[in-house]
Each structure stands twice: as C-alpha cells, then as structure tokens.
C-alpha cells in the first residue's frame, strides 16, 4: 500500500505538470472505486484551471478554481502522466486530460482507492479528524507522550493511529521503532518522554529520507513521473523477519500487531 512518502513522491511528480493547466475533459471508464466516482465529475472539473496540488496525510488534493478533487491511491493505485489519447489498458480507470496535451491517468487494479469531489476538502469527513502532519512542528515527542498516557495498546499501532499523527504506516513505523530502539510490542503508556522524543525525531528523519529517495518500491509502486522509489534498499527490519539484524547480527523476530506483520530485533529494541 502506498504510504506517505510514496504519495508525496507522486505529488511532487505530477504537480509541475498540473498546476496552472486547464482541464479539457475527464474520462471515467469505471466508477467503481472504494466509493463511486461522482457521475458529474467531468462537468465539475472540465474547463477549470488547476491551481495547486497538495497532500493531506495519504490524500492528494487537486485544487481547481472552484472545488477540489480528493484522490487516494488505496492499496494498489497510482497516478502518472501520459499523452492524452493514449489507449487505456486494463485497470486504467480515469484520465484527466489537460490543454497541454498530457493526461493524468489513474490506475488501480484492486479499485480500493478514491476520487471524490469537495468544495471544502479539509472539512470533508475523510480528512477532518486527521492528526498533524509528521514533518511539521505540530508533531513532536511531547505530543506522543501526552496522548499515550492512558493508552494500553502496543506502541506500534499507537503511532500508526491517524488521529495521533498521519502518515506513519507499517513500513515507516517499523523502521522508526528500530531506529529509536523501542520494542513495538511495548504498551504506549509505558514509554518515557525521553524515548518518545527520540522516536519522533526518527519518524521525521526516516519519512524525510524516504521522500527524498522517491519512496519504497513494494510490489508495483511507481511515482507520478513513472520512476520507482529506492528507499527499500535502506530498510533495516521491515520485510526481513528471521534474517540477521544489520546492527547486531541477532535473528529478527516477526509478530502480528494490529493485524499487521511487525519485525523487530530482540537485542536492539527494548
């Protein structure tokens, strides 16, 4: 599933080609995503100029002069730029054609993504209750410490809670906990302020590094420019269950936390 760095990589790839461009038409081949694509999307978006392409958590916000297209890549989706009129292959559900001659094409084999329309996107039901962005000053270790005091859940699903902080998905939570030396199974309320300060720093560092390297290529993820991400080459623990720890050589363990696989080092993480 594309996580925050992959979505930010997509935003950076498509934004220069969309911003300032006018939409000539919208072609919807299959409306059956997680929520149906609005039947009048072509009418609402065609003829409008795209003002700004933003990201909120894992949602892309394509802001037009009036209204915003909210897009989520789901489990297998991607947005990339193609020549307008290029014949569509299977699973290529939407084209947003621009006057420049390019088209933003949405592909989603599993159809678990979304393309919705809103006049007030930040107050949309999918976005309004989200926590702060992890790479802003609104997120830090003090926030983690304060919100964790009455939380008996394991620390890994705690930092993956979008009401606590957005965008810390399975890959990056696993890596940040390893970098901070924290066992992902520990109760959130049992971790000290000092360790949360370290964890917040590692979350920021790892997410920033992943964005700069174009995200993590898992299965079929590619960025908006059609290029893969390369952060997978720098993973210490994610996807490496029962292999040797790159730091101490111990065998990495794998457990289920919040119905997600979690790999950790029993020696480096306490």
Cβ contacts of 212 within 8 Å, gap of 6 or more: none
Report, as an integer, the average pLDDT of 258-268.
94
Q: What angle do CA 20, 24, 27 make, to 5 degrees?
A: 120
3 has catalytic annotation: yes
Report, as an integer, the average pLDDT of 77-104.
97
Confidence of residue 259 (pLDDT cuts 50, 70, 90): confident
Instruction: Say if residue 216's pLDDT is above 70.
Output: no
Give percent above pLDDT 90 in the chain: 88
134-178: per-residue pLDDT in tens?
999 999 999 999 999 999 999 999 999 999 999 999 999 999 999
The reported pLDDT for the residue numbered 87 is: 97
260 has catalytic annotation: yes
2 has catalytic annotation: yes
Consecutive H or E run containing 196: helix 193-212
The reported pLDDT for the residue numbered 234 is: 76
Confidence of residue 224 (pLDDT cuts 50, 70, 90): very low
**Cα torsion angle, 162, 168, 169, 173, sign:** negative
Q: With contact defined as beta carbons under 8 Å apart, do 175 and 206 qualify? A: yes
In 82-217, where does DSSP find H-type helix? 141-148, 155-159, 170-180, 193-212
Say what the pTM is. Answer: 0.89
Q: With contact defined as beta carbons under 8 Å apart, do 31 and 117 qualify? A: no
How far from each other are the two terminal CA atoms of the chain, in whole angstroms?
Answer: 28
Consecutive H or E run containing 264: strand 260-264
Which tokens sit at 158?
A: 């705690």
The reported pLDDT for the residue numbered 258 is: 86
SS3 211: helix
Instruction: Say if residue 245's pLDDT is above 60.
Output: yes
Alpha carbons 60 and 67: distance in angstroms, whole number: 13
Q: What residue ranges define each of the domains in the chain, with the CATH number in brackets?
A: 4-123 (3.20.190.10), 141-264 (1.10.8.50)
Ramachandran angles phi, psi of 258, nearest 5°: 60, 35
> Which of 57-61, 248-252, 257-261 bottoms out in mean pLDDT, i.e. has the lowest?
257-261
Give percent above pLDDT 70 in the chain: 93
The reported pLDDT for the residue numbered 215 is: 60
Computed over every residue of the chain, the mean pLDDT equals: 93
Q: Is 91 annotated as a binding residue?
A: yes
20-48: per-residue pLDDT in tens?
999 999 999 999 999 999 999 999 999 99
Alpha carbons 140 and 137: distance in angstroms, whole number: 7
> Which of 8-22, 105-119, 195-209, 215-229 bottoms out in mean pLDDT, i.e. has the lowest?
215-229
Report, as an integer, the average pLDDT of 188-196.
98
Ramachandran angles phi, psi of 95, nearest 5°: -120, 130
Largest distance between two CA atoms of the chain? 59
Instruction: Say if residue 220's pLDDT is above 60.
Output: no
The reported pLDDT for the residue numbered 230 is: 42
Q: Is 110 annotated as a binding residue?
A: yes
DSSP 251: B
Catalytic choice (44, 213, 253, 260): 260
Catalytic choice (56, 58, 195, 198): 58
């Amino acid at each position: 599933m594309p996580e925050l760095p992959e979505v930010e990589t997509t935003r950076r790839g498509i934004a220069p080609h969309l911003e300032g461009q006018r939409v000539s038409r919208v072609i919807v081949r299959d409306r059956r995503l997680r929520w149906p694509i609005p039947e009048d999307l072509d009418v609402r978006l065609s003829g409008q100029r795209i003002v700004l392409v933003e990201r909120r958590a894992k949602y892309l916000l394509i802001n037009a002069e009036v209204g915003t297209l909210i897009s989520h890549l789901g489990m297998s989706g991607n947005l990339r730029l193609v020549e307008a009129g290029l014949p569509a292959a299977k699973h290529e559900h939407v084209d947003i054609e621009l006057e420049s001659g390019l088209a933003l094409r949405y592909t989603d084999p599993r159809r678990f993504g979304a393309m919705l329309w809103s006049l007030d996107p930040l107050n949309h039901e999918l976005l309004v209750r989200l926590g702060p962005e992890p790479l802003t000053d609104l997120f830090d270790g003090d926030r983690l410490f304060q919100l964790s005091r009455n939380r008996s859940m394991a620390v890994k699903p705690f930092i993956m809670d979008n009401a606590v902080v957005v965008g810390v998905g399975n890959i990056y939570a696993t890596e940040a906990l390893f970098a901070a030396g924290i066992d992902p199974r520990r109760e959130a309320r049992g971790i000290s302020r000092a360790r949360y300060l370290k964890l917040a720093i590692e979350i920021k560092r790892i997410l920033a590094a992943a964005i700069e390297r174009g995200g993590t290529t898992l299965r079929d993820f590619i960025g908006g420019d059609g290029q893969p991400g390369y952060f997978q080459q720098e993973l210490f623990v994610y996807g490496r269950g029962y292999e040797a720890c790159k730091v101490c050589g111990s065998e990495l363990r794998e457990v289920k936390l919040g119905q997600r696989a979690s790999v950790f080092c029993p020696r480096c993480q306490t």
